[in-house]
Amino acid sequence: MKIYISADIEGVTGTTVWDEADKPHSDYSIFSKQMTNELIAACEGAFEAGANEIWIKDAHSSGRNIIPELLPENTILIRGWSGHPYSMMQEIDNTFQAVLMTGYHASDHSSGNPLSHTLTGKTVYTKINDLHASEFLINTFTAADNGVPVVFLCGDQAICDEARSIQANLKTVAVKQGIGASTVNISSKLALQKIKSNVTAALEKDFSSYPIELPEYFQVEICFKDHKVAYRSGFYPGVTHKDSYTILFETENYFDVLRLLRFIG
């Protein structure tokens, strides 16, 4: 069984302020290790369920956060950014049986995490077909476009709730809850235990219980914090303006959506 894991940091237990997710700061190393440990717990759960090959995308900031020497054997780590529109899902294709997501976080419109954002952090909100688009939604559609189900997610409570509203049978582990500028976190050790056991349970289920539903048509609406960014983005082919801060884009091809998100902003 070949598994793909997309790993972020803002949704790991403990992270609360941007310094903890940013390489130059002293607190960063603590949470880089927690990001790595939560990922390892997911790998261990996958191996227990019968996985024999796991590909991992380091999907935060520089793409160089996971501590490679700590990873188990039979894992392949993707570091940095190729520039491909798949972005946080680089190298996903139909040879994978399932996708896991670790350290994921609430989207730009949500108050569920002090670090809430979508992709670049330049947006007030991002919508796809009137759904507020988290990185979970964007990347789940990428997996679906390749015929691969997302079966597990861990992160803050808000993204877990949102994800289950989209995929009811999804296994989730909420490691923290955001309240204003604070977070309420479970212990790092408990997080690892819950991640491992829930990944195993997710992968032992019949994958047909995780239906893959990709819309046939996509309407994208993005509201930027800065009107100058919206103006510049309006020159992308097919983009129109709703107002000074908001752009619109429509397509029948999801890769066109990913390409838009890659090049604007």
Q: Which residues partner with 248 through β-bridges?
A: 221, 240
**What is the Cα–Cα distance from 234 to 238, expressed in whole angstroms?**
8
Calculate mean pLDDT across residues 189-207: 97
Q: List helix spans (H) across 93-187.
A: 135-145, 157-166
Residue 217 DSSP one-character state? S
For the cut 80, the answer to whether the pLDDT of residue 251 exceeds it is yes
What pLDDT shows up at residue 197?
98
Cβ neighbours around 244 below 10 Å, total: 11
What pLDDT shows up at residue 168?
87
Could you tell me how many residues make up the chain? Answer: 265
What pLDDT shows up at residue 78?
98
For the cut 90, the answer to whether the pLDDT of residue 265 exceeds it is no
Q: Say what the pTM is.
A: 0.97
For the cut 80, the answer to whether the pLDDT of residue 125 exceeds it is yes
pLDDT, tens digit, 9 for 90 and up, residues 149-191: 999 999 999 999 999 999 889 999 999 999 999 999 999 999 9
